[in-house]
Amino acid sequence: MLRGFYTAASGMLAQQRKTEMLANNMSNANTPGFKADQSAIRAFPEMLLQRMDKGNGVTPGSSRTIGSLNTGVYMQEVMPKFLQGDLKETGLKTDVALLDVSLPTNPETGMVGSTFFTVEGNDGGRRYTRNGNFTLDGAGFLTTGSGAYVLDQQGNRIGLPSDQFVVNDEGQIIVGFDENQEVVARIGIAYTNDPHSMVKEGDGLFRFEGGNLADAYNVDGLFVKTQQGFLEQSNVDTAQTMTEMMAAYRTFEANQKVLQAYDTSLQKTVNEVGRIG
């Protein structure tokens, strides 16, 4: 009977963690560039139960198979969903969105890759984001909302004289007017053919532990555009997320009732069974 306690409890823990994940998705439904998390829940390995007979005292007894027993479930992993979000026009020159026109497919996994803006983390290492809600800091450097420096194609910080600049479809930043126009930088865009290898860090940033990602401008079969004055919205489906939250809550409640039933049975066993009348 105690096995039933552990099985029901594991189901409650898995659904609690899934609810927390879905709640985080809902709270970031309006965060630009946010990628919704999705979970993989699987069962623990099954146990094969057998009954051992005593035998006749001379030869060992035989065993008889009773059957398999599931021992609970757990949340195996949480993975971001790297689908393109809708683009929303803001009209701000410092807002830039990535539009994935054509992405190559990984021949080994059959997965479509993903592109990111390249930024500099607090530790000086490369970080990646889809949130193009940029701004200029006091020193004239282009930064993200969390203060991470936006990097150019060569991995350098982008310094601009003012917020009067143009970003063309190829990621080039142009300042000046008419015959005085000058390309001062090209926004760094990185590409990975295995998006699930990216690690979320918060503030819309991702980390790649295998070094630096490839330069998207030099990847064959890849066509990505930068859209100035636009922001990529999150890819959270609020209606589906609410439905999944209700389902997770109902499953949690069902496991809770099973746990209460086991508790009642144990209470009767201790207090009533075997009591001398």
User: How confident is the model over 224-263, as pLDDT tens digits?
Assistant: 999 999 999 999 999 999 999 999 999 999 988 888 887 7
What pLDDT, on the 0 to 100 scale, is given for residue 122? 87
Please name the residue that has the structure tokens 């970003």: 167
pLDDT band, residue 148 (cuts 50/70/90): very high
Statement: residue 21 has pLDDT above 90: yes
In the chain, % of residues over pLDDT 70:
91
Distance of CA 53 to the CA centre of its chain: 51
Q: pTM of the prediction?
A: 0.81
162 vs 47, which has greater pLDDT? 162
Asked whether 36 and 241 are in contact (CB, 8 A), the reply is yes
What pLDDT, on the 0 to 100 scale, is given for residue 164? 87
CA distances from residue 163 to 94, 173, 267, 277 in whole angstroms, order as listed:
7, 11, 71, 89
Statement: residue 170 has pLDDT above 60: yes
Distance CA 155, CA 39 (A): 34
- For the CA atoms of 24, 29, 30, 36, what is the dihedral angle to 10 degrees? 80
What pLDDT, on the 0 to 100 scale, is given for residue 132? 95
What pLDDT, on the 0 to 100 scale, is given for residue 259? 84
Among candidates 276, 98, 128, 123, which has minimal Cα distance to 192? 128
pLDDT band, residue 275 (cuts 50/70/90): low
Instruction: Please give the single-letter amino acid code of residue 91.
Output: G
What pLDDT, on the 0 to 100 scale, is given for residue 146? 86
Q: Which two tokens stand for residue 52?
A: 């051992």
Predicted confidence (pLDDT) per residue in 185-231, tens digit: 999 999 999 998 899 988 899 999 888 999 999 999 899 999 999 99
Secondary structure letter of residue 212 according to DSSP: P
What pLDDT, on the 0 to 100 scale, is given for residue 54? 62
What mean pLDDT, rounded, does the chain reach? 87
Statement: residue 142 has pLDDT above 60: yes
What pLDDT, on the 0 to 100 scale, is given for residue 229? 95
pLDDT band, residue 16 (cuts 50/70/90): very high
Average pLDDT over residues 34-45: 86
In the chain, % of residues over pLDDT 90:
57
Statement: residue 271 has pLDDT above 80: no
What pLDDT, on the 0 to 100 scale, is given for residue 174? 94
Asked whether 98 and 216 are in contact (CB, 8 A), the reply is no
Instruction: Please give the single-letter amino acid code of residue 163.
Output: D
Q: If you count them, how many residues does the chain have?
A: 277
Among candidates 227, 208, 83, 235, which has minimal Cα distance to 167? 227
Instruction: Quickly count: other Cβ atoms within 10 Å of residue 204's Cβ.
Output: 26
Instruction: Please give the single-letter amino acid code of residue 231.
Output: L
Among candidates 180, 185, 179, 178, which has minimal Cα distance to 160? 185
